[in-house]
Amino acid sequence: MLLMAAPMPAAAQADVPEVREWTAPRTPDGQPDIQGVWTNSTMTPLERPARLADKAFYSEAEAAELEGAASERRQRAFEPGGTRVQRLPPGSRFAGYNGAIWSHARTIAPTRRTSMVVDPPDGRVPLRPAAEERRDFLVANRSDTYDNMSVYSRCITRGIPGALIPNFYNAGNLILQTPGYVVILTEMIGEARFIPLDDRPRISSSIGLWMGDSRGRWEGETLVVETTNFTEKGWITPNQNAGRMHGVPVTRDLRVVERFTRVSEDVLDWRATVEDPQVYAAPWTLELPLTRDPAYDLYEYACHEGNYSVPNILRGARVQEREAAASGEPGR
């Protein structure tokens, strides 16, 4: 079967390279072969910056300029004493890392989109006010109790679709296929998703899981994965670089439908549609092409924040509260 790229708006077509026809390889059982290590490192933000308004795509020159500036910043981070400053969510401090921790050079997504969110057309997630209020509460009061903290910071999970939304490092994702299953192992947190491809019944609706209950099926060249049965304890994306989506909670009604389509030898298109009626005014969809990198080594993600940072943060907050009470000053 021949694959063609989805059409772009007329304003962007003139500056987009011609897409060649390409046939996906096959596994021994005849399915499209999407196996390998696929990286998700990108400069493209989850949501479109407000300053870009209705601009859905960068021109080739604009993308090159942004990537050039990012390359210069990255090079400075490798210099002795050099750091790259990362802005964390409101209320957080700044954190700096040198060049050794960052993934390989970051670039704009191959589609040159200005955001991963492609629907709604404005590139913004249609959050309900109540969800924004809950997000703000969790972020502002994370040192009150571990229940308010990110499940990512607690070394539990990054959830779905959060597991594939890129952070600043650990960009590798290993996909394996066997008859009846697809396995996706993400380097960050080291989570493995075993996705059955048969028609087995779903687990009871009374059971909520951190990563939900996934079922997959092939629709032509595309692997479609539908995931339900989430726990209400998670966040939709705990990544610090997710902007205003950092800290947005999920409910038991969360449903995520992902589509994986290999569109060339080295590009695997990933799209995810998110529905959660209590959190969003309408479903929304993100798209991110993943890049094949056979030389990329996935490392163990030895996460210890849950063992040390979390109790120390809570302990420190209690000390501050006692000192404030003793001095008669108001608390945080």
Domain membership of residue 321 (yes or no) is no
- Cα–Cα distance measured from residue 327 to residue 314, given in angstroms and rounded to the nearest whole number: 20
Expressed as residue numbers, the domain containing 245 is: 25-301
Which range has the worst mean pLDDT, 113-127, 253-267, 296-310, 313-327?
296-310
Q: How confident is the model at residue 105 (pLDDT cuts 50, 70, 90)?
A: low
pLDDT number for residue 169: 83
Residue 147 domain flag: yes
Asked if residue 248 is part of any domain, the answer here is yes
Residue 255 CA to residue 302 CA, distance in Å, equals 29
Whether 257 maps to a domain, the answer reads yes
Residues found in the chain? 332
Specify if 228 maps to a domain: yes
Task: Kindly state the percentage of the chain with pLDDT values over 90.
Answer: 65
Q: Total structural domains in the chain?
A: 1
* Mean pLDDT within 159-182: 92
Domain membership flag for residue 311 = no
Q: Within its chain, how far is the Cα of 249 from the centroid? A: 15
172 inside domain: yes
Residue 123 has pLDDT above 90, yes or no: yes
**CB-CB contact of 261 with 269 (8 Å):** yes
Indicate the average pLDDT of the chain.
86
200 Cβ contact partners less than 8 Å away, ≥ 6 residues apart: 215
In a domain, 148, yes or no: yes
- Whole-model pTM: value is 0.85
More confident: 90 or 304 = 304
